[in-house]
Structure 1
């Protein structure tokens, strides 16, 4: 009743004010006594302001077109459930409802439990001390959670992919590392490996044991005796790339035989253990949730039964911000809302995603921080929503997800991700958890900076999506057969444009196979335009994996082992267009879009006639006006079938450059049609390449007269790529030139 009268008092007070001034301003301050929403007596919670607006509209005190602003004072706003907005919270296109921090970065909306430094004390339990490494025993601290968390902690599953069961610990706005071996900063880059398998765990129809006739837990030989130290009955899990370098999974150890040095897993892996892959022979894993390995600053461990939290701090905790993220719902959910804007708010500390927009229209997040979350940052579905100038980092899975529009009718969603800085994501789900995921029809992704992640930067599908002026670097850092931009296995992924992006300094992959790509159009994917991009040290810059209708135009490729790859896998792979093979039902996907009828048949005429025109062949891939600089292995890799089809390819005005005339280590194109070779010398090098300026930023050398004369090349607007300053992003992030 007290809450009702508080809101009613506010409604009466505000209704009096709004009769004089149509603008409604409400104030929130979580640090003061509860008030009526005025500047002198602000609300304590954002929810009170939201509910006041709802009541005023219901009672006719506030018109839909009236301007409404909620001013939120600095403070921590803790949540026990999602902050919810629905259709009743909508504004208008001309006057959206605005929720704004009075000081950018000072409003912390969090879904976790703050822990005081004084709650962490030296470990005194003799049994625990015995399990800890001797060097760490005086450094590890314990926090008794039993007095503040009454409900039991859930247990880890035998296997999982992605987000582990909560909670998770954060100190000073950084996620701590669940005690593991090898350590993440170890000389071996934090991985153990094996090469010998006892049981792949794949179904064997001929096996006498019925359990082995279906998928079952595998087993392998691990020569290092380290597992003998671990208390396996307490639960030890292994995060591994068990067969493919693009498929990670966490599986519990069921048993360890110290004599035979055999680890047996507790659950099957879908691809088996070393079930067959290309790339490095050795398979990788690291162990986690191991109290015996709590030996490094920044590591922690939770005794879930006794509710004891153990931490090896990175320094003194006296003034540390310590949060145990517990909320398993999104911090904020916006459902069916129109025209509402959130400015300069921080959404941090949760064991789910940060912000979820569903069936929204005209909703904007601007200048917000979305960080320290076990799942994704922001998911968007609906139309004309915008994520602008936000910082997203320390995320367990993806950064931003955009979906919406009507693919069948080719109606655009016009959702936008603009000028966002996305980094250090994919911490839990290491593959297919991109910086930006775009699907549906008509998503727009411009001027974002995406870096430092194990796998993709941009994962996309659908139609008419635009990816423009984005900078991407240090992604694909621990995976292989993957790309910074990735899409695959779909004829209907048509009309997408990748233009004027800067992709550089990628990692991961297998150097022998060069299986890291800048743009990867996998498994017959078709309909993408790759135009005016800059690729620098990306592995294979551009890869067309058997698809069609992929124009490769006016790109600049620098210091990449392989500049362009085109293959004919549709002509040679037996699963081509086979509905029984996972994902390969290419024609069936097209039929679902009515691809032989308008608007598809008019927008994509080659697709409409594909089954009557050599559908297995990688046709209609024009390669024009591209410049390849100092490619060390191959300028253009084409398999035997593609070479036989070259008379059907449009290849013209391309340039292969050896900047210094080096006799070894630089590939040229020899007699490939549509290419001109150009060599400089040590004394007079050709001015094409990358340099680092005094601010640590890569700058592009592109001689427009040379390129125009030799390849009809149009200069790329390099200075317009990446983040820019605006009213929300006042400064650009600093760069360490050595990080490239």
Structure 2
């Protein structure tokens, strides 16, 4: 750390030259000479120097105006977090901004750059023997002994989420750890099985004491491929072992070729084929096997020998090659106020990108956060804002917002606005959302989220606003999930999902629609779903036994099921059982003091729930919704809901079969629904044109506009990313 006497005069000089309280400017350039003073002519080399200079000047009370740190284009390597604490804060009158001189020009990088010339042809006979003869001349090896002098630990026996690092990236894209089946193989790169030999679940009646508790399971796999794997070196399987919403990576313990049996080295929480909702066939792929390094873009690391083997997808002569190694958050702000980071590329770490904790008025603006083993950003505190950022190639989730106080219903007002979040969930395939929200009073607006195996937005808590977001190509390989997902809580009240466009979701199959646009799971209550467009979105809206959920003015097009509502609280005995994981609905409400203000005033129906048939899905108004060309059911109601339709506020809904197609259903015998059927000769004028053009407004004077005069126009031109 440079002496205070050297640092303070610089900032004092800048401030005083323009009058006390004027802006101060500090300059950083990665290619500058060491020993600079932070001026334009003699910039600092690192952000750490700039941080120390600002903190020292503020401590000396020499700068009272805004401080801007101008960071020149270049790479700023990190071997641990660039961390700011309370001493590095600004104030409302004197904020601090770290700004990349050009958007995306300053790179905060948490990895080791590998030189293309370091990759050599493989000459080790034992290694060549394990490679497919067709690829031996393509595979290259890099000696990491000098770049990574410390030992490289192996993967854990079983894990969810990111594996132990490092991870290889070439030209801005993550490479694939050698695997089978390859990603472009049939069945989407998955192998399947249908018979468990041992689920691994506890068997109280077993003569073997080891099997009376959870133990590693086994399954029949008739493909002989595992016979070629060197299990002593370690091969892991990533699989959906029982549920399509629970993935886990588990090492292979053994393979019995005579019995066609694979035995795993650790138990899975739900067992192997321990009972599932969805497809009976289970799936997995093998990873981390040198024997399977047979496709361009695949790599393998001999961790003990520190040899990196790689099958380049193209010539490496001018390639950018980075090995992500840093597991700490690349940018870490704790108890910080009034600090902005603008225009940075935050990349190539094997942990999280940005962590903001217990902070206020922090802004991350116009940054690229990419190529990380963990999540993009996590923001905790109040009055923080993530805006205009792009987040992609992430091992787990995109970003998360938390803060506020639920018990007092005090909002945090953290905001995620106009962010582009895509290609995430690379390692953790489930419950790693594009945006995760908790606490009280967060705002999620004008984001575009797409291309992920599971949720787009996963939320819980109170008084959150989700509006004008576009979501597509999510829930692409999982089931029993939704683009929006929340669940199992009476107290998650006051959340508004308004004017979102949810379309072209994945998952599901022809016989079982298990992908949802909005999924209020397991008695979740108190949300408003209003003015949204659902196009090819599976079960567009699902209310899983909850109450006080308002479904108003939504447009549902080409979805197999328009609306689902069930009464699982009436049939599932665990609804209020403290011993059932995640349930105990009344206990959760008691923890919020729900019968006292402000809860009793804000949520009066909840306050009186225990005296109002608490197990029934009451007070769910379904009004002014338009369902167009549903192919399975307009409304999917279970038996108990059908018996209580007279208790439900259903009104002014319209179901349309535009051309009288035989494969389109109508809403028969459902109160509050009107059916309109057209024909090829005279199709129903639905008032809008091709869905691909996003022209969803009801045309003035159209039949549907007359049928639904109270249907409110949606701000379609304001949904999704806004131009800067």
TM-score, normalising length: structure 2 = 0.98
| 2-structure distance, mates of 1:72, 1:107 | 6
Q: For residue 444 of structure 2, what is the aligned residue in structure 1?
A: 445
For 1:342-401, what per-residue CA distance to the aligned partner results, in whole angstroms no more than 9, with x for missing partners? Answer: 110010000100000000100000100000000000000000100000000000000010
Match of 1:551 in 2: 550
Look up the match of 2:63: 62
Distance 1:690 1:157, change over 3 A: farther
Q: RMSD of the TM alignment (CA)?
A: 1.3
CA drift at 1:551: 0.5
Cross-structure match for 1:501:
500
How does 1:105-504 map onto structure 2 within 5 Å?
105-504=104-503
Q: Which secondary structure does the structure 1 equivalent of 2:48 belong to?
A: helix
Cα offset, 1:703, TM superposition: 2.3
Structure 2 match to 1:39: 40
Residue 697 to residue 421, structure 1, CA distance change in 2 (3 Å): farther
Conserved 8 A contact 1:708-1:714: no
The residue matched to 1:511 in structure 2 has which SS?
coil
Whether the 8 Å CA contact 2:114–2:322 is kept in 1: the answer is yes
| The 10-residue stretch of structure 1 (16-25 or 331-340) with the greater mean CA deviation from structure 2 | 16-25
Whether the 8 Å CA contact 1:238–1:287 is kept in 2: the answer is yes
Report the counterpart of residue 696 of structure 2 in structure 1: 700
Counterpart Cα distance in 1 of 2:433 and 2:147: 36
SS in 2 for 1:606: helix
- 1:129 is paired with a residue of what secondary structure? helix
1:20 aligns with 2:21: no
706, 710, 715: which is aligned to 1:709?
706
Give a deviation string over 1:593-651, Cα, whole Å, max 9, x none. 00000000000000000001100000000000000000001101111110111111110
Distance change >3 Å, CA 182–CA 530, structure 1 → 2: same
The separation in 1 between residues aligned to 2:220 and 2:14, in whole angstroms, is 75
Alpha-carbon distance in 2 for matches of 1:416, 1:687: 40
SS at match of 2:68: strand
Q: Distance in 2 between matches of 1:482 and 1:315?
A: 38
> 3-state DSSP class of the match of 1:565?
strand
Deviation string, structure 1 residues 101-137 (Cα, Å, up to 9, x no partner): 1111111101100001001111111100110111110
Q: Given that residues 697 and 714 in structure 2 are in contact (C-alpha distance below 8 angstroms), is that contact kept between their aligned partners in structure 1?
A: no
Cα shift at 1:86:
1.1
1:737 aligns to what?
none
- Distance in 2 (CA, whole Å) between partners of 1:46 and 1:610 is 55
Shift, 1:704, TM fit: 4.6
1:589 aligned onto 2:588: yes
Aligned counterparts of 2:296 and 2:684: Cα–Cα separation in 1: 49
Give the distance between the partners of 1:23 and 1:564, measured in 2 at CA. 56
Residues 170 and 322 in structure 2, CA contact (< 8 A), matched pair in contact too? yes
Q: Secondary structure at the match of 1:669?
A: coil
> Alignment partner of 2:332: what SS?
strand
Structure 1 segments unaligned to the other structure (5+ residues): 727-740
Name which of structure 1's ranges 181-190 and 561-570 shifts more when overlaid on structure 2: 181-190
Contact 2:697 2:713 (C-alpha < 8 Å) held by counterparts: no
Whether the 8 Å contact between 2:396 and 2:427 is mirrored in structure 1 is: yes
Q: Structure 2: how far apart are the matches of 1:95 and 1:561?
A: 55
CA–CA separation in structure 2 for the residues paired with 1:280 and 1:414: 41
Give the 3-state SS of the residue equivalent to 1:527 in structure 2: coil
Q: How many angstroms does 1:717 deviate by?
A: 1.2
Secondary structure at 1:702's aligned position in 2?
coil
Cross-structure match for 1:48? 49
For 2:463 and 2:114, the matched residues in 1 are separated by: 48
Say if 2:14 and 2:25, in contact at 8 Å, map to a contact too.
Answer: no
Shift of 1:10: 3.7
Quick one: structure 1 residues 267 and 689, their matched pair in 2 at CA, closer, same or farther if it must change by over 3 Å? farther
Q: After TM superposition, give the deviation of residue 93 of structure 1 in Å.
A: 2.6
Which residue among 1, 6, 9 is the counterpart of 2:6? 9
Is residue 578 from structure 1 mapped to residue 577 from structure 2 by the alignment?
yes
Q: Is contact 1:558-1:689 (8 Å) kept? A: no
| Native 8 Å contact 1:28 1:43 kept in 2 | yes
1:674 to 652, 663, 672: 672
What whole-Å deviation, never above 9, does each CA across 1:67-119 have from its counterpart, x for those lacking one?
Answer: 11000000000001100111112222344211101111111101100001001
- Asked if structure 2 preserves the Cα contact closer than 8 Å seen for 1:704 and 1:714, the reply is no
Please say which of residues 83-92 and 535-544 is displaced more in the overlay.
83-92
Q: 2:610 is matched with which residue?
A: 611
Q: 1:687 to 1:68 in 2, by over 3 A?
A: farther
SS in 2 for 1:136: coil
Residue 406 of structure 1 and its aligned partner are, at CA, apart by: 0.3
Deviation of the 1:9 alpha carbon = 2.6
Matches of 1:509 and 1:382 in 2, distance apart?
37
Unaligned segments of structure 2, at least 5 residues = none
Q: Distance in 2 between matches of 1:510 and 1:545?
A: 20
How far 1:202 sits from its partner (Å)?
Answer: 0.3
Maintained 8 Å contact 2:513/2:538: yes
Match of 2:598 in 1: 599
Deviation at 1:59, TM superposition (A): 1.2
Asked whether the equivalents of residues 704 and 715 of structure 1 are also in contact (C-alpha less than 8 Å), the reply is no
3-state SS in 2 of match to 1:19: helix
Given that residues 483 and 517 in structure 1 are in contact (C-alpha distance below 8 angstroms), is that contact kept between their aligned partners in structure 2? Answer: yes
CA distance in 2, matches of 1:553, 1:704: 20
Distance 2:620 2:381 in 1: 33
- Could you tell me how far apart the structure 2 residues matched to 1:454 and 1:564 are? 23
Structure 1 129/520 Cα, relative in aligned 2: closer, same or farther at 3 Å?
same
Give 1:187 deviation, angstroms: 2.2
SS of equivalent residue, structure 2 residue 696: strand
Write the deviation string for residues 139-188 of structure 1: whole angstroms up to 9, x where unpaired: 01100001221100011111000110011000001111100000111122
SS at match of 2:2: helix
Cα deviation, 1:181-213, whole Å, max 9, x if unaligned, reads 001111221000001111000001111111000
Count of residue pairs brought into register by the alignment: 718
The yes-or-no answer on 1:560 pairing with 2:556 is no
**SS of equivalent to 1:485:** strand
How much does 1:654 deviate? 0.3
Mapped contact 1:255–1:263 kept (Cα < 8 A): yes
Q: Distance in 1 between matches of 2:324 and 2:665?
A: 52
CA apart distance, 1:680: 2.5
Corresponding residue for residue 77 of structure 1: 76
Distance 2:700 2:403 in 1: 40
